[in-house]
Amino acid sequence: MPAAQATVWNFYAGPAALPRPALERAQGELLNFAGTGMSVMEISHRAKPYMALHAEVQTLVRSLLGVPDSHDVLLLQGGASLQFSMVPMNLAAAGGPAAYVNTGEWASKAAKEGKQLAGATVVASSEATRFDHIPALPAIEPSCAYVHITSNETVQGTQWQAFPDTGDVPLVADMSSDIMSRPLDVRRFGLIYAGAQKNLGPSGVTLVVVDKRLYERIPKGLPTMLDYRTHAQADSMYNTPPTLAVYMLRNVLSWLQDQGGVSSIAARNGRKAERLYEVIDRHSDLYAGHARPEARSTMNVTFRLPDEAIEKAFLQGAEAVGLVGLAGHRSVGGCRASIYNAMPEEGVAALAEFMLAFARRGA
Ligand code: PMP
């Protein structure tokens, strides 16, 4: 018998912790998916059991996120990064240049593609203060093709607290790191996209929710796989979908439903984040939060300690007690606690206790 594994709390930013019941369900069903006597990885995506799973995922997304009939739910590949390109390729043809809000690492990457592929412009940026807040949106020209925002900046740890009103100009949001963490009104968005590997499941599948009215502006002649209509018309089965990732998405979404859905998880997420920011504020001599308080993310809590040696001691001490994945993104350093939907309050409490003890010890 291998030795019992001590509890590990996983704070990685993505791929990230999955709900334990979703993993246990996969373990139980691995060799016999839906009574087939085979694993989900081994059956045709055109076979009935897979088709039923695929439909179940779309239904769960619709009900959990409140997606109206005006919008399609697509399951794509290529990660959120491919959406950085697909959005301008498909949606920029109408009207004037698209407008991007540059809030950090990921918004910058999205804007780069928007500029390169469709001459988009950055209309607001928080770069001058190291992306520590969400800048105000200037008046948007009604002719603008779309406005692109990043609802949660995974690296800097900032989050839009309320979404901007862009009138008739479609709002496009990269929600990779906070999708389904809080309720929202999907009707206000032209398009939402999210790589699954933070709040939804493993990497390999990307969720896109798109207003069908936008299809009419898609230019002719796009590569077939890069045209949203291809996937909408084929119900996201134009080619072989990432079946194992879609299966895990189902397990995570049905777990989320069991938790009471997005509004219940939002209340829990709020408590979790508050717990950590409270420690940061109480010991501001040791922990310097990166995001301004009014822009703090409930998903990625970013902070620095006085110097790199102390940060190293903090990270090593944390790891020694099973608090894993707390190093900040390689581009900014420091520390980051990613506390997505699947992180239980107990895990956050363990980190808060460790941070308090580290402060008491006198670093
Ligand atoms: N947008 C955000 C907000 C992200 O956090 C990430 C990944 N960390 C990406 C986009 C890129 O996603 P992918 O790796 O799925 O291309």
Express each pLDDT in 139-197 by its tens digit. Answer: 999 999 999 999 999 999 999 999 999 999 999 999 999 999 999 999 999 999 999 99
Does the C-beta of 338 come closer than 6 Å to ligand 1?
no
Residue 174 among the catalytic residues: yes
- Band (4; pLDDT cuts 50, 70, 90): low
Query: How far away, in angstroms, is 334 Cα from ligand 1 center?
Result: 19
Catalytic residue among 9, 132, 160, 174: 174
The pLDDT value given to residue 331: 81
Query: Quick one: which atom of ligand 1 is closest to the CA of 79?
Result: 15
Task: Name all contacts of 316-323 with Cβ < 8 Å and 24+ positions apart.
Answer: 317/354, 317/358, 318/351, 318/354, 321/350, 321/354, 322/6, 322/7, 322/8, 322/9, 322/350, 323/9, 323/11, 323/350, 323/351, 323/354
Query: How far away, in angstroms, is 176 Cα from ligand 1 center?
Result: 6
Query: How far away, in angstroms, is 5 Cα from ligand 1 center?
Result: 31
Query: Quick one: which atom of ligand 1 is closest to the CA of 150?
Result: 3
- In the predicted model, what is the mean pLDDT of the chain? 96
What percentage of residues in the chain have a pLDDT greater than 70?
98
Quick check: 70 and 197 in contact, CB under 8 A?
Answer: no
The pLDDT value given to residue 93: 86
Tokens of 268: 């829990």
DSSP class per residue in 46-63: TSHHHHHHHHHHHHHHHH
Query: Quick one: which atom of ligand 1 is closest to the CA of 81?
Result: 16
- Band (1; pLDDT cuts 50, 70, 90): low
Catalytic residue among 106, 178, 227, 255: 106
Residue 272 among the catalytic residues: no
Catalytic residue among 160, 178, 198, 227: 198
CA distance 227 to 225: 6
pLDDT, tens digit (0-9, with 9 covering 90-100), for 21-73:
999 999 999 999 999 999 999 999 999 999 999 999 999 999 999 999 999 99
pLDDT, tens digit (0-9, with 9 covering 90-100), for 270-293:
999 999 999 999 999 999 999 999
CA distance 131 to 124: 11
Residue 106 among the catalytic residues: yes
pTM score, whole prediction: 0.97
